[in-house]
């Protein structure tokens, strides 16, 4: 397992060691001790989630606020997505900045997103199965997010806007206004 740093402090890409032969391949998708040793994050995951989406589906940018904030370790089991993390930690040197990574069934990369970030993804392949581990339980009362097309973020979702499939709930998410109201 290798770690690749991203421009956002604490947000890292995890590249598993893959062992393959004529039968296929094997890799360890998570190991708590290795995760701690490599990242320095003593994160204990308590909830695993999985979603299925078709090409163009954009989910995000979501977050859990306050005591319900979640760190996430995300990966793609089938297909390919562009995964986005946005730093919303008040006082962070990279507050309001974002990072994107292509995660796919062929590269087996994972992205660790610490607490204090908004998160979203768009499906680039015909369909995708997306998994994520969370270090805190989902709390409907703590839901929040940022509009995926926030001009201040200027995220390139790769697909043209007319090919994006976005829920009505996500279309109604607020834009960042620079006051820190969405920060942690």
What CATH number did the domain enclosing 71 receive?
Answer: 2.60.120.10
Does 132 participate in catalysis according to the annotation?
yes
Q: What does the alpha-carbon distance between residue 61 and residue 83 come to, in Å, rounded to a whole number?
A: 10
Count of domains forming the chain: 1
Does 138 participate in catalysis according to the annotation?
no
Residues 62, 98, 119, 147: which is the catalytic one? 62
66 is a domain residue: yes
For 85, the enclosing helix (H) or strand (E) is strand 80-87
Contact of 90 with 10, CB cutoff 8 Å: no
183 is a domain residue: no
60 is a domain residue: yes
* pLDDT confidence of residue 182: 52
4 is a domain residue: no
* pLDDT confidence of residue 176: 86
* pLDDT confidence of residue 25: 86
Which residue range(s) make up the domain with 111?
45-171
Closest C-alpha to 75, from 107, 46, 99, 100: 107
Residues 95, 98, 119, 132: which is the catalytic one? 132
83 is a domain residue: yes
Read off the pTM.
0.91
- Give 10-residue mean pLDDT values along the chain (184 residues): 92 92 89 89 94 97 96 98 96 94 97 97 98 96 95 95 97 75 46
């Amino acid at each position: 397992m290798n770690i690749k740093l991203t421009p956002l402090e604490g947000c890292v890409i995890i590249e598993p060691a893959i062992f393959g032969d004529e039968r296929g391949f094997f890799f360890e998708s998570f190991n708590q001790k290795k995760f701690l040793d490599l990242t320095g994050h003593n994160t204990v995951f308590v909830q695993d989630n999985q979603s299925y989406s078709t090409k163009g589906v954009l989910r995000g940018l979501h977050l859990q606020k306050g005591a319900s904030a979640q760190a996430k370790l995300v990966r793609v089991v089938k297909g390919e997505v562009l995964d986005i993390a946005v730093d919303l930690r008040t006082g962070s040197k990279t507050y309001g900045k974002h990072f994107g990574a292509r995660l796919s069934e062929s590269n087996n990369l994972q992205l660790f997103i610490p607490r204090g970030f908004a998160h979203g993804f768009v499906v680039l392949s015909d369909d995708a199965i997306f998994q994520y581990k969370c270090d805190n339980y989902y709390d409907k009362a703590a839901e929040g997010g940022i509009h995926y097309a926030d001009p201040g973020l200027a995220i390139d979702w790769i697909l043209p806007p007319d090919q994006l499939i976005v829920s009505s709930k996500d279309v109604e998410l607020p834009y960042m206004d620079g006051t820190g109201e969405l920060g942690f």
